[in-house]
Amino acid sequence: MVFGPHETNLARRRSVSDRHVAYYRRRAAGGAGVIVVEEASVHPSDWPYERCPLASESAEGWAAVAAACRDEGALALAALGHAGGQGSSAYSQAPLWAPSRVPEVSTREVPKWMEASEIAEVVEAFGAAAALATAAGMDGVEVNAGQFSLVRQFLSGLTNHRQDEWGQDKTLFARQILEAVRAAVSPSTIVGLRLSCDEMAPWAGLVPSSAIEVAGSLSALVDYVTVVRGSIYTASATRPDGHTPPGFNIDLAGEVRSALPSTTKVVAQGSIVDVGQAEDVVAGGRADLVEMTRAQIADPDLVAKIQAGQPDRVRPCILCNQACQVRDVRNPIVSCVGEPRSGHEWEDPPTEQATTAPVDVLVVGAGPAGLECARVAAANGHRVQVADARARPGGMIRVAAAGSGRERLAALADWLEAECGRLGVGLQTGRSVTAEDIERFSGHVVLATGSVAGWRAYEVDPGAAVLSAADVLEEVNDGRDPLPRGPVAAWDPIGGPIAISIAELLAGRGRTVSLVTPDLIPGNELSRSGDLAPANTRLQAEGVALERRSLLRAVHSGHLTVEDRFSGERRDIAAVALVDCGYRLPDDRLWKACGETPTRVGDAVAPRSVYEAVLEGRRAALAVGASSLSRHSVPAP
């Protein structure tokens, strides 16, 4: 079981830090066998994101991570790389280095064509970084020739247009790097290669057959190959969200496994988040090891639970990328919507802290905030009951799971419900709690009452059909079609996944759908999860009409009136019904009826994501019985 390299933003400046140590120790303690630390740039010319570690500044941090992993029985490897033309000049204010002058896709920045002396510098830097890492105590290194990699850029005809020796033999750069690494470390040191075996650009890029040849030519220099996919043009392919089936690289890994000698191990990678699938990969001989990175962000104790014969207790990864994908302008720290302590191990307390003074706790609302609050409070020894007016626990994540590409959300709701049941939480569905009920209750009360539809900034004619996204998805969940026959429209003032999911769902059922958005690009917030370009591709493949730069002004019977946000020009769009995918607002009626005194969490406070709802529910549970709201007991937002 491998915990693979990924961006975390846990560095202090450009150094592997104490935050990394706590993060990796947690996975090692949970049973991970091999931990590959976040990739460090081997040369100062590479600074792809602000908190990217630099090898020359990471020796002390590597030593601390290695010691922590060794204490817990895991191997620790240092990932080494250089982003080349896929990097950034924003921090270094210097040209990007690359084999050829191919513009970076997102920024359109044209890199500098590397001269022979610069190539030699980078080759030497890989060797020096490997020596530094192993001297610090790391058990080995992994060289990146996968996504965001200068090594891959030299291997690929997409980005290597050179006519000199580096272009005539595209494996030369990779071979010299691996030879330099091997020469810099002891024979017992593990050396791995992360290799893109399908750039998904067959007109010039690496395809499985050519990548297998590359892997074979380099196999004598490495102990293992991790099989990944993706290129400069398919950055989201390496780590897609739930729209791509889990285990998408397994067959590719099997091809590489069949072609390489048994002495070179193969690691399968690619949205492998289900324990059964991982076991099948190894049992079927398609790989020797399995990388389950996001799965172990979601549940650091994944391996320990398997070893204890409790695979059903593994917290599921829902493949949303909403908190674990950190390459964006906000510089967030890596985390997980279902396990918000991930990435914050150095500051957030464990959720299991047995109390010496148990109290009675009533949680009103069984959405993600309420269930997490109940789970944590019960795990700490409190006596907990949950009441919800709905027929089934799960709240809005159960509703949203009916949307296109969001099916895995239901797994998180199932897990929360099961864990509450295991811990003895009293769960009452179909029960509406009143202010009088709360007044009679002598214990601690937490309100997780969720949300209601928000206000409408457009006119609605009498008889015009307007439904919220939640209304539509709840009807779909129950097997009904709530919309009249004819063309429909989805209004998206948020730019997130909700309207995209609704449009895909309805178009996939044969509907004629228009997506109305004030933004220049539909679903612009999806850039954070890596789904922006794929989502727009899916929408167009489904035939969804994209009404960009448009403000919704009125809903009539049979059509909408929208206004161009720049020109003010108005036009009509045919639609027998509108699905409003806008903001929801807190359902604070019970809170107000109780004199605004009970604790509120999740959507009952403000429109929240699943991550924020789970985090707030957890913090409320940790505060139960606490004498004060200290940072240690309830971390500040």
Q: What is the pLDDT of residues 269-315, one digit of tens each?
A: 999 999 999 999 999 999 999 999 999 999 999 999 999 999 999 99
Q: What is the distance between the alpha carbons of residues 350 and 621, in angstroms, rounded to a whole number?
A: 12
Where are the domains positioned within the chain? 32-61+72-290, 360-452+610-623, 455-582
Task: Quote the pLDDT of residue 353.
Answer: 85
Q: What is the distance between the alpha carbons of residues 367 and 413, in angstroms, rounded to a whole number?
A: 8
- The confidence band for 566, taking pLDDT boundaries of 50, 70 and 90, is very high
Average the pLDDT over each of 38-42, 211-215, 348-352, 366-370 and give the range with the smallest value: 348-352
330-354: average pLDDT: 94
Q: Tokens for 622, please give them.
A: 């940790």
What percent of the chain is predicted at pLDDT more than 70?
98
Q: Are strands 2-3 and 34-41 parallel, antiparallel or unpaired?
A: parallel
3-state secondary structure 364-392: ECCCHHHHHHHHHHHHCCCEEEEEECCCC
Query: Is domain 455-582 given the CATH code 3.50.50.60 in the classification?
Result: yes
Q: Which fold has domain 32-61+72-290?
A: TIM Barrel (3.20.20)
Task: Quote the pLDDT of residue 636.
Answer: 38
What percent of the chain is predicted at pLDDT more than 90?
92
Query: What is the three-class DSSP state of 77?
Result: strand
Q: How many contiguous H segments (helices) and E segments (strands) does the chain have?
A: 20, 26
pLDDT exceeds cutoff 80 at 337: yes
pLDDT exceeds cutoff 90 at 404: no
Residues 221 and 191: beta-carbon distance below 8 Å:
yes
pLDDT exceeds cutoff 80 at 611: yes
Average the pLDDT over each of 137-141, 453-457, 587-591 and give the range with the smallest value: 453-457
Query: Is domain 360-452+610-623 given the CATH code 3.40.50.720 in the classification?
Result: yes
- The confidence band for 352, taking pLDDT boundaries of 50, 70 and 90, is confident
Sign, Cα dihedral of 202, 204, 207, 210: positive
Question: Phi/psi of residue 428, each to 5°?
Answer: -115, 110
DSSP H or E run through 296: helix 293-298
- The confidence band for 477, taking pLDDT boundaries of 50, 70 and 90, is confident
* CA-angle at 277, arms to 30 and 29, nearest 5°: 5
Question: Helix 469-477 and helix 497-508: axis angle, to 10°?
Answer: 50
pLDDT exceeds cutoff 90 at 106: no
DSSP code, position 466: E
Question: Phi/psi of residue 284, each to 5°?
Answer: -85, 0
Task: List the beta bridge partners of residue 2.
Answer: 34, 291
Indicate the Cα dihedral angle 180, 183, 185, 187, nearest 10°: 130
3-state secondary structure 584-606: EEECCHHHHHCCCCCEECHHHCC
Q: What is the distance between the alpha carbons of residues 370 and 363, in angstroms, rounded to a whole number?
A: 6
pLDDT exceeds cutoff 90 at 236: no
pLDDT exceeds cutoff 90 at 630: no
Task: Quote the pLDDT of residue 481.
Answer: 87
- The confidence band for 329, taking pLDDT boundaries of 50, 70 and 90, is confident
Q: What is the distance between the alpha carbons of residues 4 and 25, in angstroms, rounded to a whole number?
A: 14
Q: What is the distance between the alpha carbons of residues 28 and 77, in angstroms, rounded to a whole number?
A: 12
352-358: average pLDDT: 89
Residues 43 and 1: beta-carbon distance below 8 Å:
no
> Whole-prediction pTM value?
0.95
Please identify which residue in the block is written with the tokens 């010496």. 356
Task: Quote the pLDDT of residue 147.
Answer: 93
pLDDT exceeds cutoff 70 at 637: no
pLDDT exceeds cutoff 50 at 627: no
Which residue would you say has higher pLDDT here, 405 or 114?
Answer: 114
The residues, ordered by sequence, that sit 6+ positions from 445 with a Cβ below 8 Å of its Cβ are 361, 362, 363, 364, 438, 594, 598, 599
Radius of gyration of the chain (CA): 26
100-108: average pLDDT: 93
**Cβ-based neighbour number of residue 197 at 10 Å:** 26
